[in-house]
Structure 1
Amino acid sequence: MDSTKHAGDVAVAVAKAYGVETMFTLSGGHVFPLYDGAVHEEMRILDVRHEQSAVFAAEATARLTRGPGLAVLTAGPGVTNGVSGVATAHFNGSPVVVLGGRAPQSRWGSGALQELDHPPLLESITKLSFTASSAESIGQDVETAFRSAIAPHRGPVFLDIHMDHLFAPAPEHTVRTPTPAPLEPDPDRLAAIAKLLAEAERPVLVLGSDVWMDRAEEAARDFAETWRLPVILNGQGRGILPAGHELLVTRARSTAFGQADLVIVAGAPLDFRLGYGWFGGKDGAPLAKVVHITDAPSQLATHIGTAAASAGDLPLTFWGLDTACTNAGVSPKAYEPWLTRLRETAAAAVEGDRELLESAASPIHPMRIYGELNRILDDDAVVIGDGGDFVSYAGKYVESKRPGCWLDPGPYGCLGTGLGYAAAARLVRPSSQVVLLLGDGAAGFSLMDVDTLVRHRLPVVMVCGNNGMWGLEKHPMRMLYGYDVAADLQPKCRYDEVVTALGGAGEMVTSPEEIGPALRRAFDSGVPYLVNVMTDPDIAYPRATTGV
């Protein structure tokens, strides 16, 4: 044993072997050796103002790089403050390792500061949640955490380490090959999917976040283009087909899902965002057959029957499907009338949006903001959504031109992700525009972490759609009860001045013609800059209750 190495050194060295470049944290004495290890190993330390932002930043790093992210949380409240971030990573399938401090083993059970048995609290939202057994085991334990996090299906892992073990000398650890072997899809299952495509007249292909996370974006695009399949993108699947692509029919989503006779969902759960897997049945059409394709058997839908399913490495799956479709005699020409119809429906929807995207109405219609923003965004801009109604408009009207450029909280719907996501995006994509779209409600969860952006010199453009309310609650409650409570925020709150007070910059916008110039000033500023746009409180985002 090298007596100059303590367990913190060993833990950080293992993380580096798995490609980790940044440790996200909030200072705490229980984890000092991990900071010391980061200094020794020349790993960047980015400290935040709330532990949830540390975990959200680690999660965004994982989702943008498709490698593991690392958050380090001190014991007790440090860990519990990070739980929402871990839950978000769980639902997004993000490979995040959270290393937690833990009260000393030598004093365990006697009431040490922040003594808490953390692993049971995180067990249901992690792939693995455990405590390192000794200083000697820490190298292997940390490797176990990383190997579990990146194995299909990816997800968060929690490991806490007793304080006295972390300070103790520990043996160096040699990391095995970090990348797990891919899971081969079953050829017979792929043949069954190809047979359904050969029989279909109105298929739709849905590409979700795991297509990006599994590095299958090129294979998926090639498959769609070869067989001329209409495509709808979900989550981080955005950008796999760029905005304007002839096969991209997201703007005809209602017609596509309502009239399809076959829907193939790849890399996304059949959750509320996809009507729980119920497609077809619109205007007299029969229910569609459903195919579910995932990266691991654990992700296959069990709440609804499917016509076929496949679990395995997604690049291998799409390559295998291509061969299976050739063998099954699938004809791309058979789908052309259906594709033409969906393209015409999508084009009509785009044309119908033009009036509101260019609206001169005062108070400002939220859509005008996105009309202005779309003119400024570069092809590789990273767009982050953190909010309700305001960000719902972004999901509909901001179409990515490249994959891996969209971040939102995902199906868990946790607000407060934005500042952590933005910090990570600026580190991971230093030459790209980074835009954080905030509802005024969401701003209250994490705006203090503008201080983090300022201290670490991370310029981000923030756009706050400020209607002075919890719009997702106020309008539905009024519809249900004829009144609302607990749904109002301070009207015209100066969130821009909060950012300025924290060392950034910003301005308030009250008329539509001011939006474009304000956004350009924000991008040109080179500092964290918030454009605080006062929007019409009477406008609610129109949504379907099924998620379709």
Structure 2
Amino acid sequence: MESAAKHAGDIAVAVSQAYGVETMFTLSGGHVFPLYDGAVHENMRILDVRHEQSAVFAAEATARLTRKPGLAVLTAGPGITNGVSGVATAHYNGSPVVVMGGRAPQSRWGSGALQEMDHPPLFESITKLAFTGSGADTIGQDVEMAYRTALAPHRGPVFIDFYMDHLFAPSPERTTETLAPSPLEPDTDSLADIAKLIAAAERPVLVLGSDVWMDRAEEAARDFAEEYRLPVIPNGQGRGILPSGHDLLVTRARGLAFGQADLVIVVGTPLDFRLGYGWFGGKDGAPLAKVVHIADAASQLATHVGLAGSAAGDLSLTFWGLAAACATAGVDPKAYAPWVSTLAETASAAIAGDAELLASDADPIHPMRVYGELGRILADDAVVIGDGGDFVSYAGKYVEPRNPGNWLDPGPYGCLGTGLGYSIAARLARPSSQVVLLLGDGAAGFSLMDVDTLVRHRLPVVMICGNNGMWGLEKHPMQLLYGYDVAADLQPQCRYDQVVTALGGGGELVTSPSEIGPALRRAFDSGVPYLVNIATDPAVAYPRNTTGI
């Protein structure tokens, strides 16, 4: 190959850059060397991790934080199978991620080459598209198709692998026109029907999910809620669309809101276990609520529960159209004032009732004390990441972002181990913001080695580990069911902080509630990856009910 010729790896990287990709997340492997060479030629950042799952999680978090596609590059065979959980997480979160994989050479295919495996069938059920590139001459078109597919509503991951010999081969340069998908207009009749439901309601609730953020509809959503004075409960990355302290934000009155609502309008999130599978109302004699589901694509509308109304389309256009339809239907914002006031009073009482535990001097440490101390330090633009069970559940209740797009958790797939990959992406995407990773001690075991990645790439992150020495999400329920538990214990006060210091970061163990605040301040001031390892009371379990509400 002549030195001036472009190889297929160059073209794949150049097309990726045209779609806004700035970083390639990867773990080194020979099957994908031409993609690395292309990144060097095209001046794309290469960020290498210690486990392929972290590469995909970092790409997924990049997509969720920047609303541009994320890119992970995985070598053949085990490199790709190690990334499957990350792809599944991107699938359930609707994250536009492109995963490029290496593949044994076509010239040796079928003869037992190293790590020879047909990868796309593994991904068919958890991607929008999974395929093998057809050749070096068409790699530009193939990669373009991958990005266009990932970005089209409803967004999601795409997997493409390339024969190794195709990647090394010369490939024609390609001029890429990155046309954004045309916005899907919602059906005006459907919006008119929803507006009539709102006009007839006495106790409506508006749920704002992650796709509101991903569809860049956060301003339209807030304007709509404020114009018609609808109480709001956010879900996932919908958190922060109404900032902490907003008079319509009634997260802390969630039980009452969902239990007594007569109309629930769910936008940009599935009616899954997190929302009681779409069953609302019925509390204290109230009838079941009517449910409206609005999504960015018709494929996302619920089919397992009866809907009073639905609409699909670009979510900004949908909110604008619904606002106009509400005006036509004569929706009176003042009609909901008593309902909003009741929810606000309930939320205020819940917040006041928590004050004692948030400042608790209990020893062993109550997990809520950790969040009480953290709340005093968090900046308005902090990115907060949750990776864990019981300990991180408190974050969903007590950490209320002031800006949208600043919250990350694994989403409905519930895959532990996302935390370090998400932290890597957050530090790159928000270089001037605080980045805080909340870890359960169980979750820490999945990815803590990637602190090495933070250290090598000089990415300071504050990690807080709620260390209760067990799999709390399993231990307490198993004891309740059987009177005993198995396979649920971890080492008490395990020194995860020393793992971090051994890898070049900083850390300390905290065993007294009075030490929490000073330790957190040291972590934020350190300028390095720093883990505050807090020994929490193993007897305290996060309260749950069986409905998901």
TM-score bracket, shorter-length normalisation: over 0.9
- Deviation (angstroms), 1:498: 0.2
Partner of 1:112: 113
Partner of 2:203: 202
Mapped to 1, the partners of 2:473 and 2:357 lie a distance apart of 20
What is the CA deviation profile of residues 59-94 of structure 1, one whole-angstrom value per residue up to 9, with x for unaligned ones? Answer: 000000011000000000000000000000000000
Partner of 1:246: 247
- Deviation (angstroms), 1:269: 0.2
* Correspondence 1:209-224 to 2 at 5 A: 209-224=210-225
Contact 2:19 2:178 in 1 (8 A): no
Partner of 1:61: 62
Check if 1:400 corresponds to 2:401. Answer: yes
- Deviation (angstroms), 1:175: 1.2
Check if 1:452 corresponds to 2:453. Answer: yes
What is the CA deviation profile of residues 240-270 of structure 1, one whole-angstrom value per residue up to 9, with x for unaligned ones? Answer: 0000000000000000000000000000000
- Deviation (angstroms), 1:177: 3.0
* Correspondence 1:335-350 to 2 at 5 A: 335-350=336-351
Mapped to 2, the partners of 1:545 and 1:121 lie a distance apart of 33
Contact 2:10 2:34 in 1 (8 A): yes
Matched residue SS, 1:401: coil
Contact 1:470 1:489 in 2 (8 A): yes
Matched residue SS, 1:364: coil
Partner of 2:135: 134
Partner of 1:278: 279
Which residue identity does 1:237 align to in structure 2? G
* Correspondence 1:353-432 to 2 at 5 A: 353-432=354-433
Contact 2:455 2:503 in 1 (8 A): yes
* Correspondence 1:40-119 to 2 at 5 A: 40-119=41-120
Mapped to 2, the partners of 1:47 and 1:395 lie a distance apart of 30
Mapped to 1, the partners of 2:548 and 2:117 lie a distance apart of 39
- Deviation (angstroms), 1:211: 0.2
Matched residue SS, 1:485: coil
Partner of 1:324: 325
Contact 1:77 1:114 in 2 (8 A): yes
What is the CA deviation profile of residues 96-137 of structure 1, one whole-angstrom value per residue up to 9, with x for unaligned ones? Answer: 000000000000000000000000000100000000011111
Mapped to 2, the partners of 1:458 and 1:539 lie a distance apart of 33
Matched residue SS, 1:523: helix
Q: Which segments of 5 or more consecutive residues in structure 1 lack a partner in the other structure?
A: none
Contact 1:18 1:178 in 2 (8 A): no
Partner of 2:538: 537
Partner of 1:302: 303
Per the normalisation by structure 1, the TM-score is: 0.99
How many residues were matched structurally? 548
Contact 2:364 2:535 in 1 (8 A): yes
Mapped to 1, the partners of 2:450 and 2:318 lie a distance apart of 41
Which residue identity does 2:273 align to in structure 1? F
Mapped to 2, the partners of 1:45 and 1:411 lie a distance apart of 29
Q: Which segments of 5 or more consecutive residues in structure 2 lack a partner in the other structure?
A: none
* Correspondence 1:13-28 to 2 at 5 A: 13-28=14-29
Contact 1:30 1:102 in 2 (8 A): yes
What is the CA deviation profile of residues 1-25 of structure 1, one whole-angstrom value per residue up to 9, with x for unaligned ones? Answer: 9961000000000000000000000
- Deviation (angstroms), 1:176: 2.4
Matched residue SS, 1:124: coil
Which residue identity does 2:240 align to in structure 1? G
Matched residue SS, 1:130: strand
Which residue identity does 1:175 align to in structure 2? T
Which residue identity does 2:270 align to in structure 1? P
Which residue identity does 1:330 align to in structure 2? V
Mapped to 1, the partners of 2:160 and 2:175 lie a distance apart of 19
Matched residue SS, 1:97: strand
- Deviation (angstroms), 1:468: 0.2
Matched residue SS, 1:530: strand
Per the normalisation by structure 2, the TM-score is: 0.99
- Deviation (angstroms), 1:174: 1.6
Matched residue SS, 2:47: strand
What is the CA deviation profile of residues 175-194 of structure 1, one whole-angstrom value per residue up to 9, with x for unaligned ones? Answer: 12331110000000000000
After superposition, the CA RMSD in angstroms is 0.8
Check if 1:169 corresponds to 2:170. Answer: yes
- Deviation (angstroms), 1:173: 1.4
